[in-house]
Structure 1
Amino acid sequence: MPNQKKTKIVATLGPATSDKETLKAMILAGVDVFRINFSHANYDDVRERVEMIRALSEELGLYTAILADLQGPKLRVGVMSGEVVVSPGDTITFRTGKPFEGNAEEVYMNYESFPQDVKPGERVLLDDGKLIFEIESTDKKEKVVAKVVQGGPLKSKKGVNLPNTNISLPALTEKDVKDAIFACSLKVDWMALSFVRHSEDLMDLQKLIEEHAEHKIPIIAKIEKPEAVENIDKIVAYCDGLMVARGDLGVEVPAQEVPLIQKRLVIRAKKARIPVIIATQMMETMITSLTPTRAEVNDVANSVMDGADAVMLSGETSVGNYPVQVIEKMTSILKSVEGSELIKVPHDPPQIRTVRYITKSVCYHAALMANEIGAKAISTLTNSGYTAFQISAWRPSAHILVFTSNKAILSQLNLLWGVKAFYYDRFVSTDETIEDVNAIACKKGFLDVGDMLISLAAMPIKDKGMVNTLRVTEIESCPV
């Protein structure tokens, strides 16, 4: 029987996931997407890991997706000389220019235009908000003087957040451009852009992908800045998926506001019918322990109940001691909650009469009808993957089986909630094709005799046009 979970698991690659056996065990335990974190990526390692994953997909007959996550403008302090502790009331100078070893009086900042961008009274947060400083003055050239509001150990190379500052850095840094071109050469399935603030950030990455990739690589906008939350409508118009990156978001906005922002972003993604990933600290204790906390189990479950397409693991699988066990545990949580009647699914029919209005309407009614008649699966033939995005967003209780001859989208679709994709390239008559597809679904264990199935197709089939036909079949016999 196929893996019954519909919510997808994204697992970050790292030292803990460097051999083929571990990767295979993780895929079998429920990983749908592997994430390459370009903040800590060595190109040779990445290439080797991608080849392993593609080989395993071939071997297991699965289409595990690969997500390249670009670092974005990560602001950091420099290296410190020895142990440095700062106390409330102390003053400290941040300097740009040439890197130097910092101490309790002076610290190097890797962000060149820091003195030009900040204003007195704004806050500087360090090390995920553990240290808080308030800007007292800036010489607008290379020196910024700040007062310590919340003290503690000041460690080397820690990340900096500027929640009140309008940063002039582009979301796509020089490093990101290089990493994105490399990711295009690997034919990754998705690309994520960090610290997105405006739709222009996404347009820049789109252009880069068009120039360097053989096929369209869809983009996920990582929402981790207050400006992104404010500009969400414009951002959604230019991306193919969202990630609620709660780590930096929880530092940039007060942590207590993150749960409601998470819910708002999930609803917004559903309306746009694009996938949404919930990330950061989902099963953090399982980096070193075999048992997650009750709060973590609750967090994963609530993300599913909010309507997330996917939940993501970071340190748990990249450096954790139990990369396979954490996937098994997460899979069991997902399976136990995702069928619940408590989950509210948005059921607004498509209203805006765009070019694809008929296709949208057919997909909407297929999802609705599947729930009404208790259909076991909805099968769709697609060339672009569009119908898969549409049906998935309406969260039918049926399996969503997608058949395509477009190899480029097979693993891409693996991020979408409830979607299972299959390679199929015999487009003959409608009847024959649908019989073929039904036979594959039976063989794979998704259908049995007596089950109801909804089939979507574009008539005539050989034209590979837009979906315009919905057909209901009761399975009378399954090939052995």
Structure 2
Amino acid sequence: MKTKIVATLGPASDDPEVLSEMIQAGVDVCRLNFSHGSHDYHKKVIETIKKCESNTGSSVAILADLQGPKIRLGDFEEPSINLLPGDIITFTTHICKGTKERVYISYTSFANDVKPGETILVDDGKMAFKVLKANGVDEAILEAVNGGVLMPRKGVNLPDTLISLPSLTEKDLADLSFILDQDVHWIALSFVRSAKDIIQLREMINSHPCENKPLIVAKIEKPQAVKDIDAIIEATDAIMIARGDLGVEMPMQMVPMIQKKIIRKCQQAGKPVIVATQMMEAMIDNIRPTRAEVSDVANSVLDGADALMLSGETSVGKYPVETIAIMQRIISQIEADDSIYYTQRGHTLVQGKRFATDAVLYNAIELASTASAEAIVVVTHTGYSAFRLASHRPKAGVYVFSNNNHLLHKFKLVWGIHGFYDAAIDDAENLMRRVNTHLLNNNFIFEGQFIINILSTPAWKKGTSNTVRLGRVGELR
């Protein structure tokens, strides 16, 4: 299976036996949601993941997802508040028990940032309000647009408002410090608004003394991020299309085409892309997904996503293992169709510092397609060649060898890559002979098949793939 599966862990899946079954069913990446749980809890889950890796013999990556500047309502005097269309209510930044007249909102600059006429959405858009006026200090008066039941502690979205919140809250900074001590592989930044948010996070990661630096996933869930998507893709290491908040902050009918366009841009940039939110949400309570959910998973694979993410389905759902197994079957069915492969043929190479490597990789892909090669084998120190190869979506298996185990774990998020650890750095001929023999002995390739080897010459020259060889399995071992 080439498309990867990201599973959010929680009470339904943090048991070692359940998680081991999920890994065996097809999980590639375990997501830790720092919107919930203490540091002690997450540390225990990380230990469980590593134990399950050892027990199953399968490696999985760890994705730590920062909460970001999430805006919420406070507690209420009653379990809920019933509002009719046209009802007037005050949102205040002073902590209070909410009533039908006044509720607390956690965003301290709310009354200063919102403007009359702007829309305020609560509880994933279930309730909409229009700003009538704000005093610029601590209160804003809103009118209920559609009415309904307002629940405490629900999330608030401000699709029309230029928010002044920092991209990393105090909680995020504390979580980040903890995460960087845990040797995780990816960090997701929520509510990204511009490339500056990514640059700030990377500076913090680079300044931390941890030896293994995690890569960054930019979560696209705000209109400002969609507008700045090219700069964000350039600044980040991967993208997550978080369709839940994105579909609230923007007209929901726009999300499918936004998804397709972002995936296409990520492939062209050689950056992994995750499609997330409500992939198989019916399986939180049911043993089967809906037909619409099956189509959603299938279309995300057809669009070219590197990975699909499950949230409540695996964190709190009744059937976490079954959800993974069914998603895996859907992915496998779609990947049997040749139309999803070699999607960047005819792509124009751009002159730059990586031009030589890009040219070698592009022609390796062309050669793989023409020769119907069974495997493309690459030796990498930095990961650049592996990421770029995967972005071309070859039908041939992509087998990546590295002496960096942390890097190999990062590849678990990337489409089509099978990673192998190799501690030795020899001359190119011996290295190629050794890795090909490993694949042959473990039945990844077979005698007589075409195989393409990509490597640096000399073998220890880091960061430059400059050699491509085509041969038959068995000719060079």
Q: TM-score under structure 2 normalisation?
A: 0.97
Q: Residues 7 and 56 of structure 1: is their aligned pair in 2 closer, same or farther, counting only changes over 3 Å?
A: same
Q: Indicate yes or no: 2:127 matched with 1:107.
A: no
Q: CA RMSD in A?
A: 1.4
Secondary structure (helix, strand or coil) at the match of 2:385 reads: helix
Letter aligned with residue 456 of structure 2: A
Report whether the alignment pairs 1:96 with 2:72: no
Distance change (3 Å), C-alpha of 1:465 and 1:385:
closer
Unaligned stretches of 5+ in structure 1? none
Identity %: 46
Q: Aligned residue pairs: how many? A: 474
Give per-residue Cα distances to partners, 1:40-96, cap 9 Å, x unaligned. 122112111112212332343332100011111000000112131111010000000
In 2: Cα distance, 1:237 partner to 1:178 partner: 27
Q: Distance in 2 between matches of 1:429 and 1:352?
A: 30
Structure 2: distance between partners of 1:188 and 1:350: 35
2:420 alignment partner in structure 1: 422
User: Is the contact between residue 349 and residue 361 of structure 1 (CA under 8 Å) also seen in structure 2?
Assistant: no
> Quick check: 1:350–1:360 contact (8 Å CA) kept in 2?
no
Equivalent in 65, 68, 73 of residue 69 of structure 1: 65
After superposition, what is the alpha-carbon deviation per residue over 1:326-376, rounded to whole angstroms, capped at 9, x for unaligned? 000000000000232333712243522211111111111112211211111
Deviates more, 1:432-441 or 1:468-477: 468-477
Query: Bigger CA drift: 166-175 or 426-435?
Result: 426-435
The whole-number CA distance in structure 1 between the counterparts of 2:467 and 2:355 is 13
What does the per-residue CA deviation read over 1:132-188, in whole Å, with 9 as the maximum and x for residues that have no partner? Answer: 000001111111000000111110100000000000001111111111111111111
Aligned to 1:445: 443
The reply to whether residue 176 of structure 1 matches residue 172 of structure 2 is: yes
**Which residue of the partner structure matches residue 323 of structure 2?**
326
In the alignment, which residue of structure 1 is the partner of 2:400? 402
Equivalent residue for 2:20, pick from 15, 24, 46: 24
In structure 2, the partner of 1:469 is 467
Comparing 423-432 with 132-141, greater Cα deviation is found at 423-432
Kept in 1: contact 2:20–2:55 (CA 8 A): no
**How do 1:268-287 and structure 2 match up within 5 A?**
268-287=265-284
Partner amino acid, structure 1, of 2:430: E
Cα distance in 1, alignment partners of residues 455 and 407 from structure 2: 18
**2:433 and 2:476 in contact (8 A); partners too:** no
Find the residue that maps to 1:285 and give its secondary structure: helix
AA aligned to 1:235 is I
Quick one: distance in 2 between partners of 1:383 and 1:23?
Answer: 31
Instruction: Say if 2:150 is the partner of 1:154.
Output: yes
Partner Cα separation in structure 2 for residue 94 and residue 153 of structure 1: 16
The one-letter amino acid of 1:361's match is A
Q: Which amino acid aligns with 1:424?
A: D
Aligned mates of 1:415, 1:473 — CA distance in 2: 29
- Superposed, which structure 2 residues align to 1:139-218 within 5 Å? 139-212=135-208, 213-218=210-215
| CA distances 1:291-312 after superposition (whole Å, capped 9, x unpaired) | 1111000000000000100000
Correspondence for 2:454: 456
Which of 333, 336, 353 lines up with 1:336 in the alignment?
333
**Corresponding residue SS for 1:6:** coil
Instruction: Confirm whether residue 305 of structure 1 aligns to residue 279 of structure 2.
Output: no
C-alpha contact 1:350 1:361 (8 A) present in aligned 2: no
Cα separation, 2, equivalents of 1:293 and 1:477: 50
* Residue segments in structure 2 that go unaligned for 5+ positions in a row: none
Q: What's the offset of the Cα at 1:478? A: 11
* Deviates further, 468-477 or 64-73: 468-477
